[in-house]
Amino acid sequence: MKKTIIFLIFVFTFQFGFAQFEANYDENKIPDFELPDPLTTFKGKKVNNAKKWEKKRRPELLKFFTQNVYGEVPEKLNIASFKVIEESNDAINGKATRKQVELSFKKNDLKLDFTILIYLPKSVENAPIFTGYNFFGNHTVSNDVNVIISDAWARNNESLGIINNQLTEQSRGVRDNRWAIEKMIDSGYGLATIYYCEIDADMDDFADGIHPFFYDKNQTQPGSAEWGSISAWSWGLSRAMDYFEKDSGIDESKVILFGHSRLGKTSLWAGATDQRFAAVISNDSGCGGAALSKRKIGETVGRINNSFPHWFCRNFRAYNNNEKALPVDQHQLLALIAPRPVYVASAEEDKWADPHGEFLSAFYATPVYQLYGKEGIPSIEMPEVNQPIQNTVSYHIRTGKHDVTDFDWEQYIKWADQFVK
């Protein structure tokens, strides 16, 4: 008897535990859920014009996402100084200028620097730019030998030559396939990119990066409503924007945020919190990015908070396996960007990021854009693969994997020509 009970407990625990970790990819197994209406306030009031949206609904949504999803930035901190550490008039086959600008931040005895790599087309005086973080260092985005290798922490990766958490020459240019720089330059756009771990190392540890700048004595991690890493990285993008406003080569009214995957989540949050950004591109951002959480398909809130406990604020954990209780969903994050253009892109094989949920998010954000007379996603039917819908709210699903491809960049440039330039 005793043995049977122990056996049953074992089977139950195993099954339950396993079920928790198995991702669902079946649309038929999506739990019933009601998607919160972007145009009805938490108190049930209808919002029918842009003024009410801006005065009532947008602020309450922004506040909820700030305190319960990504986390508050504790205090303001301006750039202490910046320095152009390298520049050239002869980059990208002579068509662009290159500049590497180091921004420095100081508080008490703490210091943090990050370097923005900037390419600008020589053919344009005051260039619109794409901007966003890279995963493995500025030197990986092109084969340009003059790009400085960051000495910030990096996750070890033998095939990329990352040893002892340090980036090396071996990875120069390894991600040039993800950054169509020459296409951008030829189309009259610049690029500004930063290695994201210079702002905060991507590990479950709040001892380094920007977080400790605001700790009280003996504090070792942010408060439960305070910023996780995504919010810290998006803070870094806003500080880069502070710099862009000072650079006469850049048109600061035409800065388009771009981000892939976790860095797509970051760009969406930066676009929602900082209205100086002209437009946002989310490439395969998935859970905690463009994908609807309540669908619980692919990666879920519980799963992401377990695997990456440092990305969101601690309050977000209240929704682990409890998405039903969320009074918001990610279509409202997209709506926070309105009326500025937003582009959500998915990849057919990227089931983990829930392409259908990313599409629906763009569709359900559309009513907010319509308050401004802007066109979004006209139908709930997903477009065919490689058939972009390009409006102020845009969407495409391309063939292939979780990645950034030339196809993606061709669409982003075409769209930016129409809605940003």
List residues with catalytic annotation: 261, 402
Q: Which is nearer to ligand GCU, 347 or 393 (CB)?
A: 347
Minimum gap (Å) between residue 348 Cβ and ligand GCU: 16
Per-residue x/- marks for ligand GCU, 342-381, CB under 6 A? Answer: ----------x-----------------------------
Give the number of residues in contact with ligand GCU, rule: CB under 6 A: 8
Count of Cβ atoms closer than 10 Å to residue 102 Cβ: 16
For 61, 98, 126, 275, 341, the CA distances from 271, given in Å and listed in that order, are: 14, 25, 22, 6, 10
Do the Cβ atoms of 234 and 269 come closer than 8 Å?
Answer: yes
- Least gap, CB of 352 to ligand GCU (angstroms): 6
For ligand GCU, give the closer residue by CB, 226 or 354. 354
C-alpha distances out from residue 136 to 58, 326, 346, 352, 390, Å: 35, 34, 22, 22, 30
Is residue 101 within 8 Å of residue 113, measured between CB atoms?
A: no
Comparison of 262 and 295: residue with beta carbon closer to ligand GCU: 262
The span of 76-84, 120-128, 136-144, 299-307 binding ligand GCU (CB under 6 A) equals 299-307
Q: Which H helix or E strand runs over 135?
A: none
Nearest residue (CB) to ligand GCU, 251 versus 299? 299
Residue type present at position 121? P
Residue among 261, 332, 366, 392 that touches ligand GCU (CB under 6 A): 261
Per-residue binding string, ligand GCU, 302-331, x by CB under 6 A, is --x--x------------------------
Asked if residue 287 binds ligand GCU (CB under 6 A), the reply is: yes
Give the one residue of 198, 299, 329, 408 binding ligand GCU; rule: CB under 6 A.
Answer: 299
CA-to-CA distance for 292 and 285, rounded, in angstroms?
A: 11
Residue 390 belongs to what H/E stretch? none
Instruction: Measure the CA–CA gap between 131 and 152, rounded to whole angstroms.
Output: 20
Minimal distance, residue 337 CB to ligand GCU, in Å: 19
How far is the C-alpha of 243 from the C-alpha of 101, rounded, in Å? 9
CA-based torsion, 394, 351, 160, 209: positive or negative: positive
- Closer residue to ligand GCU, CB minimum distance, 128 or 286: 286
Residue 286 interacts with ligand GCU (CB under 6 A)?
A: yes
The torsion angles phi and psi of 297, rounded to 5 degrees, stand at -115, 140
Nearest to 388 by CA among 365, 353, 413: 413
Residues numbered 60-79 forming contacts with ligand GCU, rule: CB under 6 A = none
Is residue 297 close enough to count as binding ligand GCU by CB under 6 A? no
Beta strands (DSSP E) in 66-198 are 81-91, 96-107, 110-121, 127-134, 190-195
Q: How many CA atoms lie within 13 A of 301 on its CB side?
A: 26
Does 228 participate in binding ligand GCU (rule CB under 6 A)?
no
Q: Which of 98, 139, 211, 262 binds ligand GCU (CB under 6 A)?
A: 262
Closer of 140 and 261 to ligand GCU (Cβ): 261
In angstroms, give the least distance from the CB of 288 to ligand GCU.
6
Binding site for ligand GCU (CB under 6 A): 261-262, 286-287, 299, 304, 307, 352
